[in-house]
């Protein structure tokens, strides 16, 4: 059988466009870009250039540029009613970031959530209509859809009317290196450089309303003073949309002598592994997740986890984490306290998390994604 040529969207991971920062979609796209060639696929990355072009001295490093900015091609689709298509020299194109235009090849789309329609309060009002249109457009144009969880399937069917027969669930994962303990000396050097002590409570993610970080801070401040002196709260993530009140709360707590550390510029994956490895408890009671990769990263790092009992997170955890009502500061705090002080519970959660992480790897994700390509192309 001849090799399958795959076009993969790289807009969310192209350094010239992102400055090296990765969100969840970026981590997912990177895993596919790295993993698919090992299964014999010829992968070419494609990124949409900015409307006004790249700045001086910048160039795409991970693949090729689409012929125009996404907004230009999307407008062309609207005006030509399908008469014009992008000529792609691939057998199949995989859009991991919702940006889909008409092409002369089958298109697979990974749709991560339906937040602009189901939870408009968590999306910038200025961008909500645009994001909703982009996601509905992707749902309508894709020949097949990949959802990252069974929870997301329900959302896509109800919000966008996607035919469930066109959806395949493919869970996210972790790289094999995450399952290996980093060198202790390297971990200690990273933590020392960041000014943190081992054993802290840790959150990782963009600071935005649905991540529920304000309640994490409130739960931490409600812990016994002795525990707060012993264990810092380390928040890793860049400032996102509508986080001014959260940042003010963090700064006020720090001024009042609380042991809270905000790290907003961590882009290196190896140093991120070090930060996970140094944590005592991972706290991720997000209000909404299409999957929740950080939970798996914590499992793989042998860190016990507090997470939410809603959306996709119980599907990711499968009982390996303490699952709480994300709206209850008391429940979040009680779970944090339990995992910090109950050694038997810690060991139980760490062992269960390790099993879960070993089952959900990026290799597995890539293999199942490749099976979707073959099914769409009729090459089973």
Q: What pLDDT shows up at residue 314?
A: 97
What pLDDT, on a 0 to 100 scale, did the predictor assign at position 160?
A: 85
Domains delineated in the chain: 5-173+362-377 (3.40.50.2000), 176-359 (3.40.50.2000)
Residue 289 has a pLDDT of 94
Grade residue 147 by pLDDT with cuts at 50, 70 and 90.
very high
Res. 126 pLDDT band, cuts 50 70 90: low
- Given a cut of 90, whether residue 204 has pLDDT beyond it is yes
**Residue 158 above 80 pLDDT?**
yes
Is residue 117 over pLDDT 90?
no
Token pair in block for residue 327 = 């709206």
Band the pLDDT of 233: cuts 50, 70, 90: very high
Decide if pLDDT at 334 tops 70.
Answer: yes
Q: Rounded to an integer, what distance in angstroms lies between the CA atom of residue 244 and that of residue 29?
A: 29
Residue 246 pLDDT exceeds 80? yes
Instruction: Please tell me the predicted confidence (pLDDT) of residue 128.
Output: 66
User: Of residues 275 and 21, which shows the higher confidence score?
Assistant: 275
User: Beta strand pairing status for 64-65 and 322-324?
Assistant: unpaired
pTM assigned to the model: 0.91
* pLDDT over 90 (residue 140): no
Q: Which DSSP string do the residues of 41-85 spell out, in sequence order?
A: -EEEEEEPPPTT-PPTT---SSSEE-SS-HHHHHHHHHHHTTS--
Q: Return the pLDDT at 306.
A: 98
CA 18, CA 151: separation in Å to the nearest integer? 29
According to DSSP H, which parts of the chain are helical? 15-18, 24-35, 70-80, 115-118, 125-141, 150-160, 184-194, 213-221, 225-230, 244-255, 269-277, 293-300, 313-317, 329-341, 343-359, 362-377
pLDDT at 119: 79
pLDDT, averaged across the chain? 92
Average pLDDT over residues 312-317: 97
Examine the pLDDT at 262 and tell me if it is beyond 60.
yes
Q: What pLDDT sits at residue 124?
A: 67
For the chain, percent of residues with pLDDT exceeding 90: 76
323 sits in which H/E element: strand 322-324
Q: What is the pLDDT of residues 3-59, one digit of tens each?
A: 899 999 999 999 999 888 788 899 999 999 999 999 889 999 999 999 887 876 688
In the block, residue with structure tokens 């961008």: 127
Q: What is the pLDDT of residues 280-305, one digit of tens each?
A: 999 999 999 999 999 999 999 999 99
Q: Is 353 or 239 the better-scoring residue by pLDDT?
A: 353
pLDDT confidence band for 2 (50 / 70 / 90): low
DSSP letters along 162-210, please? --GGGEEE----B-GGGGSPPPHHHHHHHHHHHT--TTEEEEES-BSGG
Average pLDDT over residues 168-191: 95
pLDDT of residue 130: 73
- In this prediction, residue 190 has a pLDDT band, given cuts at 50, 70 and 90, of very high
pLDDT at 152: 93
């Amino acid at each position: 059988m001849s090799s399958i040529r795959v076009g993969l969207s790289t807009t969310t991971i192209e350094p010239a466009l992102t400055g090296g920062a990765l969100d969840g979609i970026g981590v997912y796209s990177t895993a596919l870009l790295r993993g698919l060639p090992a299964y014999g696929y010829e992968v070419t990355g494609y990124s949409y250039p900015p409307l006004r072009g790249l700045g001086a001295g910048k160039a795409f490093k991970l693949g090729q540029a689409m012929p125009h900015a996404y907004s230009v091609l999307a407008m062309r689709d609207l005006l030509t009613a399908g008469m014009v298509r992008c000529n792609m020299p691939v057998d199949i194109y995989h859009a991991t970031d919702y940006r889909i235009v008409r092409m002369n090849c089958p298109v697979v789309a990974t749709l991560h959530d339906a937040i602009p329609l189901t939870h408009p309060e968590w999306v910038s009002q200025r961008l909500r209509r645009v994001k909703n249109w982009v996601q509905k457009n992707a749902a309508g144009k894709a020949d097949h859809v990949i959802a990252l969880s069974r929870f997301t399937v329900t959302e896509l069917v109800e919000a966008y009317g996607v035919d469930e027969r066109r959806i395949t669930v493919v869970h996210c994962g972790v790289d094999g290196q995450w399952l290996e303990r980093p060198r202790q000396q390297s971990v200690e050097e990273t933590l020392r450089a960041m000014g943190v002590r081992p054993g802290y409570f840790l959150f990782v993610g963009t600071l935005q309303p649905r991540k529920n970080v304000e309640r994490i801070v409130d739960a931490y401040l409600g812990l016994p003073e002795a525990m707060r002196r012993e264990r810092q709260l380390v928040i890793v993530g860049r400032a996102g949309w509508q986080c001014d009140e959260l940042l003010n709360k963090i700064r006020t707590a720090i001024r009042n002598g609380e042991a809270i550390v905000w790290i907003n510029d961590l882009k290196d994956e190896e140093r991120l592994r070090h930060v996970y490895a140094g944590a005592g408890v991972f706290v991720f009671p997000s209000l909404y997740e299409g999957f929740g990769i950080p939970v798996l990263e914590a499992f793989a790092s042998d860190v016990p986890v507090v997470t939410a009992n809603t959306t996709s997170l119980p599907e990711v955890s499968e009982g390996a984490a303490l699952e709480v009502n994300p709206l209850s500061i008391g429940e979040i705090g009680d779970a944090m306290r339990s995992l910090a002080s109950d050694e038997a519970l810690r060991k139980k959660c760490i062992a269960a998390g390790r099993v879960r992480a070993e089952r959900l790897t990026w290799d597995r994700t890539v293999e199942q994604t490749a099976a979707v390509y073959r099914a769409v192309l009729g090459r089973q």
